[in-house]
Amino acid sequence: MVILVGFSIYALVNFARYGQVFGKPKYIRMELVELLSFGNFYNGKSVCTRGYYVEDEKLRLLKVSLAEDRYTRVAWVITGNLEIITRIPGAKAKFVEAELCGEFESSRNGEFGEPPVWIAQITVESYKTFGDVQELETQI
């Protein structure tokens, strides 16, 4: 009986704190706009977020909207050995809607990327794409 009560309290506390019965989830799931708006709260955390993944020969970005410039509501992306979009040298920039999971970093000083001007960065550990890869008609 004591074990059952103890387990019930443990499960209730975990469900209230993390939204699941058995412990902390590996990733915090959140909207990209919220993640970027409150980046200092999520600095160093493992997150999953969804947006438009845009890549050209020099840039890899996760954007809230394709209508905004390359510095507005955007995170620099480090893919490591993962290839989210297959690149052909000299081709136009491409994009795909994607959910990226990995470590999130944020700084008010703009120290991420090349050149180091972005205020947020995601180091991708896993990803999922939605829809087809498309060419970006405008310059990023």
pLDDT tens digits along 77-99? 999 999 999 877 778 899 999 99
What residue spans define the domains of the chain?
1-25, 31-135
In Å, what is the CA distance from 46 to each residue of 26, 79, 113, 121?
A: 7, 15, 19, 12
Model confidence pLDDT, tens digit, residues 2-39: 666 566 666 555 455 444 445 557 899 999 999 999 99
The mean pLDDT value for 70-76 works out to 93
Residue 56 φ then ψ, to 5°: -130, -165
Give me the CATH topology for the region 31-135: OB fold (Dihydrolipoamide Acetyltransferase, E2P) (2.40.50)
Say how far residue 87 (Cα) sits from the centre of its chain: 20
Residue 36 burial by CB count (10 A; 0-12/13-18/19+): exposed, middle or buried? buried
Residue 117 scores a pLDDT above 60: yes
- At residue 27, the pLDDT reads 93
The mean pLDDT value for 98-121 works out to 93
Check if the beta carbon of residue 64 is closer than 8 Å to that of residue 74. Answer: yes
